[in-house]
């Protein structure tokens, strides 16, 4: 490692990038952190959550990385970056989302398949105004699928793309999204762990790049009442031992294998339990509303964008399944792990695949099962889905539930009566971090 330092990062329970700068000469030894980080709420209050050790003397955990995971950083030419695994007393730290994703990958590999993942982000650029602080960047000449200076007058998105490439994060495409100042950023697919690491680093890189250029970038699910929300689409496929796409079956009328249908069954059956791991904030449920493209229903469809799970039209080697549920506040490692495990449960439990959605999804649909309308009800759905919680990691879920129960209580204490409206509390709570 010729560089002078390593930025050692890892995803916490909130999906934030924690870590340290460590001189390169010492980085391979790893570095310690207080496990009590896993008790912290956004407002830095402590929650006695499982795994945090706040009632046991605030013990340490240890962060280490594989040298093959080192990549060029974006701070400067002398800094590399690595996504770390966490351990405690020589054992994997089971409350870590990266551990949960490793578990999901291993569980699929035990069935003979290697998961591949591709992530699509949506985000708003914000600009600082004298009267109202940070507001949506209004580019009146912007339009859906727009590119170039009309949608990005200062070239910010191009700068983000270039910076990402320098850190070995490949964007497959970028374009303007539905509303002015909103963009879609699609990362190239990769092995599930690499894809999650890329997405995790990309969120930080993109937000820091925007800050350097006098703007902010937010992945928050629903920052504005009158504009569209920010989703995260988790695309996945499964490779067999020969490297073939196991979701594809050329002999089937729709080109989908029995394995693919079982995955769809699992995603529909566990949709409600899956929701809080993909949509983990109070604000996320402003996006999960009727008559939206948010993926709130427990249904699936062929090339259908008003369902919870979409099967894009490509077949053969490019066959994939797209979960449309998550938003930009999700912990990408945890969300990917949960999606993969819900799909796997459809296989191992031999769940029947429901019929595909053929209605428009806005005025008519084939299921009444939807995501909860608020965080607290969604958490109850997760508690009830014991098969999913055990598959993902019961330790991680126990920590998550404690943190999020407390988060809901703080929201209610701040606003009084919960409502469907976006509150000042949730903007101040989440916008600085997402």
Task: Report the alpha-carbon distance of residue 256 to residue 239 in Å, rounded.
Answer: 14
| 410 membership: H or E segment, kind and range | helix 394-415
pLDDT category at 182 given cuts 50, 70, 90 is very high
Q: What is the pLDDT of residues 294-326, one digit of tens each?
A: 898 999 999 988 899 999 999 999 999 999 999
Is the CATH number 3.10.20.70 carried by domain 5-93?
yes
Is 52 within 8 Å of 399 (Cβ atoms)?
A: yes
In degrees rounded to 5, what are phi and psi of residue 42? -60, -35
- Number of Cβ within a 10 Å radius of residue 18: 18
In whole angstroms, how far apart are CA 187 and each of 63, 170, 184, 197, 368?
26, 6, 10, 11, 33
* Degrees to nearest 5, angle at CA 171 with 121 and 83: 80
Q: Is residue 292 over pLDDT 90?
A: no
**Average pLDDT, stretch 71-75?**
95
Is 153 within 8 Å of 159 (Cβ atoms)?
A: no
Is 353 within 8 Å of 367 (Cβ atoms)?
A: no
What percent of the chain has pLDDT above 90? Answer: 82
String of DSSP letters for 89-100: TTEE-TT-HHHH
Query: In this structure, which topology does domain 105-430 adopt according to CATH?
Result: Creatine Kinase; Chain A, domain 2 (3.30.590)
Task: Report the alpha-carbon distance of residue 356 to residue 216 in Å, rounded.
Answer: 40
Task: Report the alpha-carbon distance of residue 408 to residue 109 in Å, rounded.
Answer: 37
**Average pLDDT, stretch 341-367?**
90
pLDDT of residue 134: 86
Please state the pTM of the whole predicted model.
0.96
SS3 call for 211: helix
Q: Is residue 335 over pLDDT 80?
A: yes
Task: Report the alpha-carbon distance of residue 321 to residue 237 in Å, rounded.
Answer: 7
**Average pLDDT, stretch 412-416?**
95
Q: Is residue 132 over pLDDT 60?
A: yes
In whole angstroms, how far apart are CA 378 and each of 282, 316, 356, 407, 416?
10, 36, 24, 13, 20
pLDDT of residue 53: 80
Q: Tell me which residue has tokens 């993902």.
A: 392
| Beta strands, E only, 282-433 | 300-302, 309-311, 321-323
String of DSSP letters for 24-93: HHHHTT-EEEEGGGGGB-TTS-B---TTS-TTTT--EEEEE--GGG-EE-SS-TTEEEEE-EEEETTEE-
Q: Is residue 3 over pLDDT 70?
A: no
Q: What is the pLDDT of residues 10-22, one digit of tens each?
A: 999 999 999 999 9
Across 52-61, 219-228, 371-380, 386-395, least confident range: 52-61
**Average pLDDT, stretch 51-79?**
91
Per-domain residue ranges of the chain = 5-93, 105-430
Q: Is residue 143 over pLDDT 70?
A: yes
Task: Report the alpha-carbon distance of residue 303 to residue 313 in Å, rounded.
Answer: 6
Q: Is the dihedral of CA 385, 391, 394, 397 positive or negative?
A: negative
pLDDT category at 146 given cuts 50, 70, 90 is confident
pLDDT category at 368 given cuts 50, 70, 90 is confident
String of DSSP letters for 157-196: HHHHHHHHHHTT--EEEEEE-SSTTEEEEEEPPEEHHHHH
């Amino acid at each position: 490692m010729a560089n002078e330092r390593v930025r050692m990062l890892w995803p916490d329970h909130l999906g934030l990038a924690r870590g340290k700068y460590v001189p390169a000469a010492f980085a391979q030894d790893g570095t310690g952190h207080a496990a009590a980080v896993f008790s912290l709420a956004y407002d830095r209050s402590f929650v006695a959550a499982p795994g945090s050790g706040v009632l046991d003397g605030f013990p340490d955990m240890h962060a280490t990385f594989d040298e093959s995971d080192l990549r060029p950083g974006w701070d400067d030419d002398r800094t590399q970056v690595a996504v770390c695994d966490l351990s405690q007393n020589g054992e994997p730290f089971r409350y870590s989302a990266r551990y949960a994703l490793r578990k999901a990958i291993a569980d699929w590999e035990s069935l003979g398949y290697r998961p591949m993942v591709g992530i699509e982000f949506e985000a708003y650029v914000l600009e600082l105004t004298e009267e109202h602080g940070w507001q949506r960047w209004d580019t009146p000449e912007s339009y859906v699928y727009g590119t170039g200076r009309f949608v990005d007058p200062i070239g910010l998105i191009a700068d983000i793309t270039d910076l990402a490439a320098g850190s070995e994060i490949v964007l497959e495409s970028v374009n303007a999204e539905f509303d002015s100042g909103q963009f879609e950023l699609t990362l190239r697919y990769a092995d599930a762990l690499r894809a999650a690491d890329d997405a995790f680093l990309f969120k930080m890189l993109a937000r820091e790049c925007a800050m350097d250029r006098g703007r902010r970038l937010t992945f928050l699910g629903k920052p504005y009442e009158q504009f569209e929300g920010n989703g995260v689409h988790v695309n996945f496929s499964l490779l067999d031992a020969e490297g073939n796409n196991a979701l594809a079956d050329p002999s089937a009328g729709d080109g989908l294998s029995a394995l693919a249908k079982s995955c769809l069954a699992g995603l529909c059956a566990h949709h409600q339990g899956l929701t809080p791991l993909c949509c983990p904030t109070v604000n996320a449920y402003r996006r999960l509303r009727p008559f939206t493209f948010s993926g709130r229903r427990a249904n699936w469809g062929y090339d259908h964008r008003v369902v919870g799970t979409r099967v894009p039209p490509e077949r053969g080697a490019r066959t994939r399944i797209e979960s449309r549920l998550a938003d930009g506040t999700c912990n990408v490692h945890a969300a990917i792990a949960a999606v993969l495990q819900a799909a796997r449960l459809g296989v191992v439990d031999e769940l029947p695949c429901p019929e595909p959605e053929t209605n428009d999804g806005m005025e008519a649909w084939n299921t009444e099962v939807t995501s909860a309308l608020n965080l607290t009800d969604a958490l109850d759905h997760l508690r009830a889905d014991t098969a999913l919680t055990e598959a993902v990691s019961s330790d991680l879920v126990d920590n998550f539930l404690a943190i999020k129960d407390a988060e809901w209580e703080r929201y209610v204490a701040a606003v009084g009566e919960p409502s469907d409206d976006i509150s000042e509390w949730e903007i101040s709570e989440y916008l600085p971090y997402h």
